[in-house]
Structure 1
Amino acid sequence: MRAVSSRLAIRPRCSRCNLALHLCLCDEIPQVHTRTRILLLQHVMEIAKKSNTGGVAALALVNSKRLIHGSLSGSAELELLSEPGTWLLYPDGPPPRPDAPPPRQLVVLDASWSQARRMTQRVAALRTLPRLALPPPEPGLLRLREPSHPSGMSTLDAVARAVAALEGAEVAMPLARLAALRVQRIAECGTLY
Structure 2
Amino acid sequence: MVSFDPKADLVHYLQRAREALLWKLDGLSDYDVRRPLVPTGTNLLGLVKHVAGVEAGYFGLTFGRPFPEPMAWVDDDAEDNADMWATESETREQIVDLYRRVRAHGDRTIQELPLEATGRVPWWPAESNEVSLHYILVHVTAELNRHAGHADIVRELIDESVGVRAGHSNLPPGDRDWWVAYRERLERVARLSLRD
User: Which bracket does the TM-score occupy, shorter chain normalised?
Assistant: under 0.3
Structure scoring higher RCO (CA < 8 A, sep ≥ 6) equals: 2
Larger radius of gyration: 2
TM-score normalized by the length of structure 1: 0.28
* Higher strand residue share: 1
TM-score normalized by the length of structure 2: 0.28
